[in-house]
Chains A and B, each alone.
Chain A
């Protein structure tokens, strides 16, 4: 059996007395694209942030490529990993945010080569070559010296995707990547993501773009109130959902 890219078992997460995740189970195979959909506040983004340890989970187990995230298990006990070790694991997981979060004081090229040169210790020349290749793939050749604020939202998000890809991640997380975009710019970002999915990247995408989920996803998981209510192939989940909650959600969204 191939080790899944992501294996989640009974993950719970609370902020104070508010439980945001109430026991999530999920598996994503390598090369698969999984979309997380559901109403706001259902815990989709929090769950995504748990995967690369931006949020610490309170209980359960979360494995990326067979390795626990943020912890080490020895003789049945969990040991928290050091900042350095957590960083090493995070470097293998790319993340794209709703608000792009490009480094405002750096040019496009500097944004992309920052982590490869500082974290992976790749030479600057090599990082620049790789960055230019990636920029060409997302159609942003020639914008290397622009500052983030000189770019449109769609362009910024494509740079953010490029920046994540420059780390050669094994898994990519997308946290509502098109929610902050003007409607006419959504398409270019989705196209870049579709190309990425076609290239065989394992992706977990929190999104409200049902069209994208239908076209690109291998599985869609519907989340509500901190739980995954229903999982299935996109056509099945979107067209003939089984659960009442799923039905009522899609009847409003689609």
Chain B
């Protein structure tokens, strides 16, 4: 976004009238003095200076300890688990979200209402509560079985063995994420002009074909930016699983400082990693958004750019051949 803005400024540069500063020589006007802004700037610079000095010179930060732990094996393991949780839970959350969004937009009222209730429940209760709830699910259902309701059972297992802390974490994070993603996907789908699905239907495409080939590819453009935000949020939300004694980044840091009492340095270690990964994700989000946004790159459609190119060329070659065959006929 900012890149294009800079570009457009440059373009305007030569044509735009003389800037106010040098205009002073022509107009002899004294520019407005923004005293408030000056005071605020000086204040913030002072605060920043104090903070930097303190961070660098306060020995209790113990940067040496931070350096010692930042790429230590346990922290790396914790980071790995955090990333795994983020990726898997977000992926499942997106899938659940798409299904819920389609249900909500269904003309079947039971499906639509079921999705609404799901979203209402999972957005209406704290994620922390949901995680603890799933963790203790064996209190409600000690045995879990798979079978036909009111009919025979095919398989049965102990809930405590089945629902490991990792499973609880994935379950809790993904189910909760699904509710938020559902609203995002629904917004994206609802934003597509009705004419698109009507013309697809008129061409004889089924409901699913219309959704998969016409609606969702166009909705993606609207869905991508908020999904990026959700992923960044998910990265930090995974830290809640530390209540399940699951050794993610935060919990690993906690176990170390519980032993060594180096609380602050280890919180610094965890925070630096969260900050770093968030920065990488933000960077990736920027490129994804630019890729899907309308603009200069739209000269050719993106399907064409990726899949189409090769097969089209192949198709053209085969067409020529087919043409020859026809002529021979």
- A interface residues, Cβ below 8 angstroms from B: 52, 54, 83-84, 87-95, 97, 99, 101-107, 109-110, 114-115, 118-119, 124-126, 128-129, 132, 145, 147, 149, 160, 163-164, 167
Taking the closest CB of chain A, its distance from the CB of B303, in whole angstroms, is 7
Q: What A residues does B322 contact at CB under 8 A?
A: 125-126, 129
Interface check B311, CB cutoff 8 A:
yes
Task: Specify which chain B residues have a CB less than 8 angstroms from the CB of A84 in the assembled complex.
Answer: 206
Which residue of B199, B204, B303, B316 contacts A105 across the interface (Cβ within 8 Å)? B303
Known: A91-B204, A125-B318, A167-B204. A101 touches B304 (CB 8 A): no
Q: Give the residues in chain B near A129, CB-CB below 8 Å.
A: 319, 322-323
For B207, the chain A residues whose CB sits under 8 A away are 83
Sampled A-B contacts (24; CB under 8 Å): A52-B202, A54-B201, A90-B202, A90-B204, A97-B195, A97-B198, A110-B301, A110-B303, A110-B304, A114-B205, A114-B213, A115-B200, A115-B203, A115-B205, A118-B213, A125-B315, A129-B322, A129-B323, A132-B319, A147-B299, A147-B301, A149-B298, A160-B199, A164-B203
Q: Is B57 an interface residue (CB 8 A)?
A: no
One digit per residue, 1 when the CB lies within 8 angstroms of any chain A CB and 0 when it does not, for chain B 202-234 equals 111111010001100110000000000000000
Task: Say yes or no: B205 contacts A119, CB within 8 Å.
Answer: yes
A234–B178 alpha-carbon span in the complex (Å): 59
Q: Nearest residue in A to B308 (C-beta to C-beta)?
A: A110
Residues of chain B whose beta carbon lies under 8 Å from any beta carbon of chain A: 193, 195-196, 198-207, 209, 213-214, 217-218, 298-304, 308, 311-312, 315-316, 318-319, 322-323
Closest to A127 in B: B315
Does A97 lie within 8 Å of B304, measured CB to CB?
no
Indicate if the CB atoms of B304 and A91 lie closer than 8 Å. no
Residues of A within 8 A of B205 (CB): 87, 114-115, 118-119
CB-based nearest A residue for B294? A149
* CB closest chain-B residue, reference A90: B204
| CB-CB under 8 A for A95 and B199, given A83-B206, A105-B217 | yes
At the interface, is chain B mostly helix, strand, loop or mixed?
helix
B218 and A105: CB pair below 8 A? yes
Cross-chain contact A101 with B303 (CB below 8 angstroms): no
What separation, in Å, do the CA atoms of A104 and B196 have in the docked complex? 8
B214–A90 CB distance below 8 A: no
Cross-chain contact A103 with B319 (CB below 8 angstroms)? no
Residues of A within 8 A of B209 (CB): 118-119
Contacts A101-B196, A105-B303, A114-B213: A163 and B203 contacting too (C-beta < 8 A)? yes
Indicate if the CB atoms of B198 and A125 lie closer than 8 Å. no
Contact check, A167 vs B203: say whether CB atoms are below 8 A apart.
yes
**A residues near B196, Cβ cutoff 8 Å:** 101, 103-104
Q: What's the nearest-Cβ distance from chain B to residue A163, in Å?
A: 7
The answer to whether residues A106 and B301 also contact, given A101-B199, A114-B213, A125-B315 and a CB cut-off of 8 A, is yes
Q: Contact check: which of A95, A118, A125, A149 meets B202 at CB < 8 Å?
A: A95
Separation of A109 and B311 alpha carbons in the complex (Å):
13
Complex CA distance for A17 and B300, rounded to whole angstroms: 47
Q: Are A125's CB and B199's CB within 8 A?
A: no
Given contacts A54-B202, A101-B193, A102-B199, 11 further A-B contacts (CB under 8 A): A91-B204, A92-B204, A97-B202, A103-B196, A103-B200, A107-B301, A107-B308, A114-B203, A114-B205, A129-B319, A164-B203
Q: Is the CB of A119 within 8 A of B195?
A: no
Min CB–CB distance A99 → chain B (angstroms): 5
- The reply to whether A124 and B213 form a contact with Cβ atoms under 8 Å apart is no
Q: Which residues of B contact A126 (CB under 8 A)?
A: 322
Per the bound structure, the CA–CA distance linking A107 and B203 in Å amounts to: 17
Contact of A119 among B193, B204, B316 (CB under 8 A): B204
With a cutoff of 8 Å between Cβ atoms, the chain A residues found around residue B316 in the complex are 128
* A124–B196 CA distance with the chains assembled, in angstroms: 22
Q: Are A99 and B195 in contact, with the CB atoms below 8 A? A: yes
Q: How far is the CA of A164 from the CA of B183 in the complex (A)?
A: 34
Tell which of A90, A132, A147, A164 touches B201, judged by Cβ atoms closer than 8 Å.
A90
A103 to B203, CA, bound (A): 12
Q: Which of B203, B205, B304, B319 has the most CB of A within 10 A?
A: B203
A-B pairs with the 3 shortest C-beta distances? Answer: A91-B204, A101-B199, A101-B195
